[in-house]
Amino acid sequence: EAGVAQSPRYKIIEKRQSVAFWCNPISGHATLYWYQQILGQGPKLLIQFQNNGVVDDSQLPKDRFSAERLKGVDSTLKIQPAKLEDSAVYLCASSPTGLTGPGYGYTFGSGTRLTVV
Amino acid sequence: TQLLEQSPQFLSIQEGENLTVYCNSSSVFSSLQWYRQEPGEGPVLLVTVVTGGEVKKLKRLTFQFGDARKDSSLHITAAQPGDTGLYLCAGRTNTGKLIFGQGTTLQVKP
């Protein structure tokens, strides 16, 4: 089966500009996650969707970050305006499982590397 | 806030040595997952442990889930240069959230 697709792979922008990332999860996967990963560290959860509804966005900096998952399939993550500290890899992951139980089938995309200069 | 503490953060060993990576929390998780990540790629799932005390083996890798489902360990026997990478543990909460530890960077020298 096809994996989680993310684009673009790389993006360089100046601070205060805006940027958007796109994610296409594995077909049929109900749960979608966006993570921010600083080089050499573990991913930090930004937002979790179940179908097209937000389950958890407690760590999303809502003054500058926004995300949506229209029709419960593709998702976009936007940053506006970007800051230097937003430089990181943004990972998208999907899973076929619901909110309860042990979970399985987590698959990550290759990520988008963002550099803010 | 649920946290996962991974140790050690960095490990540099010679080929053929054994190693253990630990993942600890004060919280109970419905499952614990281990991932390996290579530069420029997303994490790749190695194993999911669900039951307290569960042990799973994947070739030279042995994974164990603590009896109380709060901690886990990854043991690699006779490490090889191909094992080099970032190892991540992740706990799944009862709301389906997947929380990661800080990661362990492993370098295996030939």
Question: Among B71, B54, B65, B50, which residue's Cα sits nearest to residue A102?
Answer: B50
Of B43, B96, B103, the CB nearest to A103: B96
For residue A1, is pLDDT > 70?
Answer: no
d(CA A54, CA B103): 27
Q: Three-state DSSP class for A36?
A: strand
Q: Is B110 on the interface with A (CB under 8 A)?
A: no
d(CA A79, CA A67): 9
Largest CA distance in chain A: 43
pLDDT, one tens digit per residue, over A81-92 is: 999 999 999 999
pLDDT, one tens digit per residue, over A44-78 is: 999 999 988 999 999 999 999 999 998 889 999 99
Q: What are the b/e assignments for A72-95, b being 16+ CB within 10 Å?
A: eeebebebeebeeebbbbbbbbbb
Label residue B5 by pLDDT band (50, 70, 90). very high
Q: What is the pLDDT averaged over residues B50-59?
A: 94
**Which of A34, A106, A107, A115 should be substituted to probe chain B, the one whose Cβ sees the most B Cβ atoms within 10 Å?**
A106
d(CA B86, CA B67): 26
Label residue B33 by pLDDT band (50, 70, 90). very high
Q: Do B33 and A106 touch (CB under 8 A)?
A: yes
Nearest chain A Cα distance for residue B15, angstroms: 22
Question: Among B89, B70, B30, which residue's Cα sits nearest to residue A104?
Answer: B30
Per the structure block, which two tokens stand in for A76? 């976009």
Q: Three-state DSSP class for A67?
A: strand
* Cα A64 → chain centroid: 14
Per the structure block, which two tokens stand in for A111? 């990520």
Residue A115: the pLDDT is 97
Paired with B5 in beta bridges are: B24
Cα distances (angstroms) measured from residue A57 to each of A39, A74, B33, B83: 22, 17, 22, 34
Question: Among B42, B76, B106, B101, which residue's Cα sits nearest to residue A33?
Answer: B42
Residue A98: the pLDDT is 76
Interface of B with A in 38-97 (CB under 8 A): 40-45, 48, 50, 86, 88, 90, 92, 94-97
